[in-house]
Amino acid sequence: MEEQIAELTAQIAALQGSGQTTNRMFAETFYYLTIPLMIIIHVGFLAYEMGASRLKNVLSSGVKNLLAFAFMIPTFYFFGWWVYWGFPTGLPGAPGPAGISGVEYANAIAWGWGESAQYMGPNVADQASGVFFGAFALFAATTASIMSGAVIERIQTVGFIILAVVLGSFAWVVAAAWGWHADGWLVTQFGVHDFGAAGLVHAVAGFFALGVLINLGPRIGKFNKDGSANHIPGHNMPLTVTGLMLIIVGFWGFLMACVIVPGEAWSWFGDKPATIYGTPVTLSALSFNILMAISGGIIGAWLFTRDPFWMMSGALAGIISTASGLDIYFPAIAFIIAFSAGVILKPCADWLERRGIDDAVGAVTVHGTIGLYGLILLGIFGAGYPSLQGAAGEVPTISLMGQIVGAVVFFLLGFVPGYVISFILKMFGMLRIREGAERAGMDLVKVPAAGYPEWGVDAPVTPAE
């Protein structure tokens, strides 16, 4: 009998070990797949912004996107990741992915030599931290790409890179440390909940872009002397619309990466999928709600514009407007919110344009305005839900006031650094290209190649002032 009991115990232990291995492999694979899916976002931004540029600026717009992606990875590695885990306004003692304190983990991931190397690189003890880092690094790159579309056709490359680094490896990361971490003060004190990062990624990036645009100024020929605006079309609408659809594809990876799946590196979240706050979420909820949000946004924009550009922008607005509460909403609510976002999208963009802001692709509206719109609406439709893992009455709950506080903070974290850094760059002549270069086309003076050499870079005519 004792031998049978011992054999049964050994079998149970073996099964448990096998289950843990399976969970680890699933967690690692899950996040690993989010990375190429999120890179598709950048394929989309690349096509979207190149299509929205005039023929003479196509490659310069593409170069900006490539550099934004390339610079985000090392800068986020060296200090952006540290800000998230070690920023003092959170709780530095909170556990990091490797089970150590956030500050210790931040130091390890940022420098990674000596004893710190056990948490990095070819690490057999913790396979998951690298892919989790990769997902966060792609969030950082996304913020830079959001800003890049607004400023096409007149910003200097070096100035753009500096702005992208500040946004992608600092500004939004502070927002994440405060509002996308279970120990962030916005979460613990105000119950801020932003599952899909509508506020802390999209709104921060959108309003950072607004701060830059104020100092950058409009493209030559955008506004007439009486203040009326001219439409400056891109050279390739089909490419732009295709790029927007690719961004939608990439959003599945973006939102996958917002889910904490059971795994070795974050076992304190429990054995079921959770949000970054530890609250429950299911892939089923995401599937229903993302699809309904895409549809609602497209339909809302189509009813009021009939314009394919704004229809696909409506798809983005639909996802962004529901992103904060995708883990909570029922599909019908997601559709209604997304539909309303599609309806207000173009009027909001027109309102901004009438105030002299030349946002070439509507990034401030799509990501900034709609990001805060969705964040605040969660305070209405999700009021009373726990914003953190824990028993009812022991953790803060979602509220309209809390979401408004989060919206104000995220606005300031985007707009203030965007305005200040771009103002400094403007003072040193590093923000905008010279008038002659802008009129001739940035490809001609900045890029040693031609996008369409048989057509000639000067084919499009700049609208008269």
Q: What is the DSSP letter of 263?
A: -
Q: Which of 28, 16, 37, 59 is nearest to 253 (CA)?
A: 37
Is 80 exceeded by the pLDDT of residue 376? Answer: yes
Burial group, residue 116, by CB count within 10 angstroms (0-12, 13-18, 19+): middle
Q: What is the pLDDT of residue 182?
A: 78
Q: What is the DSSP letter of 104?
A: H
pLDDT at residue 3 in the model: 61
DSSP per position, 382-444: TTTSBSSSS-TTTS-B--HHHHHHHHHHHHHHHHHHHHHHHHHHHHTT-SB--HHHHHH-HHH
Task: Quickly count helices (H) and strands (E) in the chain.
Answer: 18, 0
pLDDT band at 23 (very low <50, low <70, confident <90, very high): low
41-86 tens-digit pLDDT: 999 999 999 999 999 999 999 999 999 999 999 999 888 887 887 7
Q: Is pTM beyond 0.75 here?
A: yes
Helices (H), 185-236: 185-190, 204-216
Residue 118 has pLDDT above 80, yes or no: no
Class (C level, CATH) for 2-446: mainly alpha
Lowest average pLDDT, out of 46-55, 78-87, 230-239, 259-268, goes to: 259-268
CB atoms closer than 10 angstroms to residue 67: 17
Q: Is 133 helix (H, G, I), strand (E, B) or coil?
A: helix
Question: Model confidence over 420-442: pLDDT tens digits?
Answer: 999 999 999 999 999 999 999 99
pLDDT band at 90 (very low <50, low <70, confident <90, very high): very low
Residue 260 three-state SS: strand
**C-alpha to C-alpha distance for 72 and 167, rounded to whole angstroms:** 9
Q: Roughly how many angstroms between the first and final C-alpha of the chain, as a whole number?
A: 95
* Contact status, residue 283 vs residue 45, Cβ threshold 8 Å: no
How many angstroms separate the most distant Cα atoms in the chain?
96
Residue 383 pLDDT exceeds 90: yes
| Nearest one of 366, 256, 259 to 312, comparing CA atoms | 366
What's the pLDDT score for residue 460? 47
